Chain A
Amino acid sequence: AQKITQTQPGMFVQEKEAVTLDCTYDTSDPSYGLFWYKQPSSGEMIFLIYQGSYDQQNATEGRYSLNFQKARKSANLVISASQLGDSAMYFCAMREVYTGNQFYFGTGTSLTVIP
């Protein structure tokens, strides 16, 4: 079974609008971290936001927020007030603590911001 599932291969959003990128995960480890990364066309992977499995509140970093629903095992990224520079691939990732300590990545969502 896939550890991380991103079901949206491509998304479009109008500039200045908000957009939600979906991510669901699968783990039996009680302690884990969830991460979102941005990859522009230039190729580098940029860390955006982190959510811990024990965190009670949703993480926020500037225009990025994470809609964490633990019971549903989802960790959706919300980008508010989209900008043209937000056009990129976005990857959801998970790190389990007690079972292997690896990172698991989804297949990514390509976001295009339309002027």
Chain B
Amino acid sequence: DVKVTQSSRYLVKRTGEKVFLECVQDMDHENMFWYRQDPGLGLRLIYFSYDVKMKEKGDIPEGYSVSREKKERFSLILESASTNQTSMYLCASSLDGGRNQPQHFGDGTRLSIL
């Protein structure tokens, strides 16, 4: 089974801090994704990556950056955390760009910015 591991289930940080959310997958997947999930809005794509050192902006990249130095790890960075970034963050991976390849998700990180 594919395992996608997010570093924290719950995280509390302060406004202005630089926050790192880590995601690791163990199945040599090419594609990795970061979403945030808010009630009534579903999942919104922040960034995704097709391969190592490659990244593409999603629908809501403002205030975020990402890093993919190794294939198995995709990090989401909140450069200067703000209270409107309080949310559930979900990391996902998929084998490749095939239309039949589902995304496999981590357990999510509930981030609170105080």
B90 at the interface (CB under 8 A from A): yes
> In the complex, are the beta carbons of B43 and A91 less than 8 A apart?
yes
Chain A residues lying within 8 Å of B74, measured Cβ to Cβ, are: none
Residue among B31, B33, B35, B99 with most chain A CB within 10 A: B99
Which of A45, A52, A101, A106 is the one whose CB lies under 8 Å from B92?
A45
Q: How long is the Cα–Cα vector from A3 to B86 in the complex, in angstroms? A: 26
Chain A residues lying within 8 Å of B98, measured Cβ to Cβ, are: 97
Given contacts A44-B105, A102-B48, contact A108 B100 (CB under 8 A): no
- Chain A positions near chain B (C-beta within 8 angstroms): 31-33, 35, 37, 42-47, 50, 52-53, 91, 93, 95-97, 101-103, 105-108
Which of A35, A53, A103 is the one whose CB lies under 8 Å from B33?
A103
How many residue pairs bridge A and B at CB < 8 Å?
A: 58
> In the complex, are the beta carbons of B105 and A45 less than 8 A apart?
yes
Chain A residues lying within 8 Å of B90, measured Cβ to Cβ, are: 45
Given contacts A102-B45, A105-B42, A107-B42, contact A44 B100 (CB under 8 A): no
Q: How long is the Cα–Cα vector from A108 to B104 in the complex, in angstroms? A: 17
- Closest chain A residue to B42, Cβ basis: A107
Q: How long is the Cα–Cα vector from A42 to B90 in the complex, in angstroms? A: 13
Chain B residues lying within 8 Å of A101, measured Cβ to Cβ, are: 31, 50, 97
- Closest chain A residue to B41, Cβ basis: A107
> In the complex, are the beta carbons of B42 and A91 less than 8 A apart?
yes
Which of B33, B43, B99, B108 is the one whose CB lies under 8 Å from A52?
B99
Given contacts A43-B88, A102-B58, A103-B45, contact A31 B105 (CB under 8 A): no
> In the complex, are the beta carbons of B42 and A35 less than 8 A apart?
no
Given contacts A44-B107, A45-B92, A45-B105, contact A105 B97 (CB under 8 A): no
B65 at the interface (CB under 8 A from A): no
